[in-house]
Chain A
Amino acid sequence: EPEVTQTPSHQVTQMGQEVILRCVPISNHLYFYWYRQILGQKVEFLVSFYNNEISEKSEIFDDQFSVERPDGSNFTLKIRSTKLEDSAMYFCAIKVGTDTQYFGPGTRLTVL
């Protein structure tokens, strides 16, 4: 299984602050995804990123969210002004082969 790391493992922030979550795949991949899982709820798609562009985004992914791959390896998710309801586990995923997506260990975001 391809290795994907995410940092930090846990982020605590105050409401209104900006956070940046990072995803580092061990080898080169073209397809990246962010998902989130609010405690006790289902995993929800946020955004897909292919060839350094957003290819699809969900209704959750509003103007407060952005993604980029600044240095060709790290893949980041930025939330500009966090809200209480942004508290969740955020998972990065990469696609290998045709359709299989492999998930990183996740970042737990807590907004106070």
Chain B
Amino acid sequence: EDKVVQSPLSLVVHEGDTVTLNCSYEVTNFRSLLWYKQEKKAPTFLFMLTSSGIEKKSGRLSSILDKKELFSILNITATQTGDSAVYLCAGDEGAQKLVFGQGTRLTINP
């Protein structure tokens, strides 16, 4: 059965800290790994990773995929209160569906 596991489940840090969120996956017909940010309602797209070892960056956020170890991390540097959200990791299974992890709830305290 396909499985995506995220850690930690919850993280509380102070503004300005750097955080690393983890995602491990076991997904048949794996095509890509996606990260989303979920604030109040819908997941909003952050990154899609298909190749190992190539870092994707967007401002203070970056992510990398290790297809050998079946693992991805999402880094956020110089965190701000607006980064508070649930971060979701999902494996794309054969382009027919996304298999989601349970999410990491990130809280940034001022």
Q: Give the residue of B34, B50, B102 whose beta carbon is less than 8 angstroms from that of A101.
A: B34
How many residues of chain B get a CB closer than 8 Å to chain A's CBs?
A: 23
B84 within 8 A of A: no
A25 within 8 A of B: no
| B92-A1 in contact (CB<8A) | no
Q: Give the residue of A42, A48, A93, A105 whose beta carbon is less than 8 angstroms from that of B101.
A: A42
Majority SS of interface residues in chain A?
Answer: strand
Majority SS of interface residues in chain B?
Answer: strand
A52 within 8 A of B: no
**Interface 1/0 per residue, B30-63 and A, CB below 8 Å:** 0110101000011111001010000000000000
A75 within 8 A of B: no
| A100-B44 in contact (CB<8A) | no
Residues of A near any B CB (own CB < 8 A): 1, 33, 35, 41-45, 48, 55-56, 58, 89, 91, 93, 95, 98-106
